[in-house]
Structure 1
Amino acid sequence: MMFKLAWRNIWRNKRRTIITIVSIAFAVILSSIMRSMQLGSYERMIDNSVRFYTGYIQVHKLGYWDEQVLDNAFYPPRGLQAQIESLDGVEAAVPRLESFALASYGTRSRGAMVIGIDPEKESHLTGVEHKITEGSKVGLNDPRVLMGSGLADYLNMKVGDTLVLISQGYHGVNAAGKYAVAGMVEFGLPQLTNQVVFMPLPAAQYFYGADGMLTALAVVTDQPGYVDDIREAILRDLDTTAYEVMDWRTMMPELIQGIEIDNISGIIMLLLLYLVIGFGMFGTFLMMTKERLYEFGVMLSVGMHRSRLQLLIFSEIVMLATLAVFTGFALSLPVINYFSQNPISLPEEYKTAFEKFGIEPIYAFSNEPIVFTSQAWVVFFMALVLSAYPLYKIWKIDPVTAMREGR
């Protein structure tokens, strides 16, 4: 009976109810979009870093991560790659041989990161074939290479030219070779585009004198939330006295620290937003209380207990808050879903500034459920806390004074 009466009271004054619902729904929409943009930027940052540098998990020789030199390359155990790929949630196990070399063409030279890849497997990690802006992709047994367009521009190279690489190979052997450029690749992070050379794995192993060896086996998953479970499954069947298995959080602590620091500033901004939203919501509750003073006075005068009147008003606020939160949820969901699939590209004048910090110049949005649920619960809780004002007003109200002031 109480809830039925509360529901009727809500819609007795449609204008007041709509204003209240709109104010709370707007709070949910605004906070959800703001948080979605923040978490989306973190997800994009992590994905960009993980899908180029490390993968979500890496298997390598014990001690390689502390001293990342070619001499710490390893021969992968027979069947390890297939075994990892058979695990639930694993998209691919990507073999890599990474080192540095001096890249030269004509009279110009620059240090380059040379990455030996299996082009078919690499498509799961960096998607290198989709990053080609000029030329064509390479095959596993192709003697040609792909190079970053930034590096190519610096060396004044084009597709078909011959790149000279000079380095030190495994256990100090000389490493020198000439390779035709099959294509140019471009990544969202400019420091990668400016120094990377992708070489088919057999050619890279021959170049460095490391036949059959890898520096790392990168594991790609389509379920980032299960990284810890996958890592534990790999460790169960691996000799941990010779090899180590590390997840991306361990390999990139600076990224985690940067995100945590930025997240604190984002939370502070969100709290300020909640403060502004709270004042707006309080204004609507204050208006609702002032408009109904006469009604409250009459109900108390005819014998209604204050506690029952408080319960009635509290029920109304709960219903209003629930309606408003679901309205905000329904309106923000399609907006965030759209922008999560279609990130906002920044204007040209801002791109250079973002790229200097190694940040992809786009605004990405996250559509993780926590974006909606956390904001909805916070705003709902704020509405319940602010309901203390009308409840307190009812507790202290004098029926005669209320009827006089409410006329």
Structure 2
Amino acid sequence: MNVGSRLAWRNLWRHSRRTWLTVGAMIFCNVLLVFMISLQLGSYGMMIDNSLGPFTGHAQIQHKDYLDDGKMRQSVPAAAALAQQVRGDIGLESVSARAVGFALASSEERSFGVQISGVQAAYEPLVSTLPGLVAQGRYLSESDNDAIVIGRVLATNLRATLGDEITFLGSGRDGSFAAGVATVVGIVDSGIDDLDRAMAHVPLGWFQEVFAMGDHGHQIVIRFADIDAVTPGLAALAPQLDLGDELVLLDWDALLPGLRQAITSDMASAWMMYGVLVLLVAFSVLNTQLMSVLERTREFGVMLALGMKPSRIARLVGMETLMMAALGLSIGVLGGAAVVAYLSVAGFHFPGMEEMASQFNLPDRIYPEVSALGLLWGPLTVFVMSVFAALYPALRIFRLRPVPAMRAV
């Protein structure tokens, strides 16, 4: 440590209480920022999983035009076989084939338009949260043929209960007239009325027969262990698939482009709040350093009279600020890292979160994301702003004149 550093360290502790109050504010701000940003990043992973869980999955194999047009003829040949290839040859267990169509559903009393999905009963629970939300009856089994699981709102609209038969009328893949009858074996309550109003799951084989699909489907839904595994998982999966020119492998961002925009918007609004917190700390540093410069005006006047350049004194004040900011940064990051490391294992929950999570088949705890971004983004911003806050007190030194400064009271 050179003379300038030792002098800056000594000056920093002339008023230890004031210094510790400023450093304490920086530590509190840094710990809070580390916790909030890490929790926010962790909640985004949970938000993505919850949004993708009911139907979309983390990725899908589709016809190249199906996402934009959604026409029944834009299908995936040998859908069940392709899903089995991904499960068996490539080793991803959470893969299920689906076929999707629209039909007029009729009970004895009413008729409503629905989106009907043919699913693989054994594998659909691995890629969707809906099978875990059956409120009455049961979900589909591999032995089912003409069974159907419908949403709570649709059941109310059709005035259908367990054991009732529902007739479907629609158009097949080849343009033919499609008609079939299925028996209600389960009613799903997802808590989302729009989803429950049009939700109808039937066995894939029955759907293919009724809608003249042959062995075709519309979606091969893939779900990974978590959102962080999607990018490397798809990078490893794509070279092993021979999709030809008609099929594409789409990730969740392509399937739901609005989701990332919502996350970006939420992060921007959160940083407005974080910015206010950072500014408060910056003004605290500014106040501390300005008071330090003002009360040492006579001392600086003597130093100027002895021939020391103003720039050297300004560097001394800047070094004091750097030391104070570095102290707040290091202790704040360590404290924040300890909090986040604990909560990443134990989880964090709000009062009443367990009841809401159980209702929607969601996790009852949020786990903060442990990452360099979460740990350093906020504290480094505080560090930079604190250094900038010391510019004004340091620049005041260039306005000092030796004689008036030594006469200052």
Report the TM-score when normalising by structure 2.
Answer: 0.77
Query: Is 2:373 the partner of 1:373?
Result: no
* Residue aligning to 2:329: 325
Distance 1:155 1:77 in 2: 31
| 1:20 Cα deviation from its structure 2 partner | 1.0
Distance 1:245 1:147 in 2: 29
Distance 1:296 1:87 in 2: 76
Distance 1:149 1:180 in 2: 12
| 1:164 Cα deviation from its structure 2 partner | 0.7
Task: Specify the SS of the correspondent of 2:68.
Answer: coil
Distance 1:390 1:89 in 2: 63
In structure 2, runs of 5+ residues without a counterpart are 357-361
* Residue aligning to 1:242: 246
Q: How does 1:82-231 map to 2 (within 5 A)?
A: 83-85=85-87, 92-143=94-145, 144-158=147-161, 160-168=162-170, 169-171=172-174, 172-187=176-191, 189-222=192-225, 224-225=227-228, 227-231=230-234
* Residue aligning to 1:285: 289
| 1:226 Cα deviation from its structure 2 partner | 5.8
| 1:135 Cα deviation from its structure 2 partner | 3.6
Q: CA contact under 8 A between 2:348 and 2:365: conserved in structure 1?
A: no
In structure 1, runs of 5+ residues without a counterpart are 352-359
* Residue aligning to 2:51: 49
Out of 395-404 and 106-115, give the one that drifted further: 395-404
Q: CA contact under 8 A between 1:146 and 1:197: conserved in structure 2?
A: yes
Task: Specify the SS of the correspondent of 1:65.
Answer: helix
Distance 2:159 2:299 in 1: 82
Distance 1:274 1:175 in 2: 64
1:292–1:77 Cα change, 3 Å? same
* Residue aligning to 1:357: none
Task: Give the partner amino acid of 1:314.
Answer: G
Report the TM-score when normalising by structure 1.
Answer: 0.78
* Residue aligning to 1:28: 30
Task: Give the partner amino acid of 1:198.
Answer: H
| 1:166 Cα deviation from its structure 2 partner | 0.8
| 1:269 Cα deviation from its structure 2 partner | 5.4
Task: Specify the SS of the correspondent of 1:71.
Answer: coil
Out of 265-274 and 108-117, give the one that drifted further: 265-274
* Residue aligning to 2:390: 387
CA distances 1:172-220 after superposition (whole Å, capped 9, x unpaired): 2423212222342415x44223321233333433443435332111222
Q: CA contact under 8 A between 2:75 and 2:216: conserved in structure 1?
A: yes
Give the aligned length: 392
1:399–1:342 Cα change, 3 Å? same
Task: Specify the SS of the correspondent of 1:123.
Answer: helix
Q: CA contact under 8 A between 2:164 and 2:184: conserved in structure 1?
A: yes
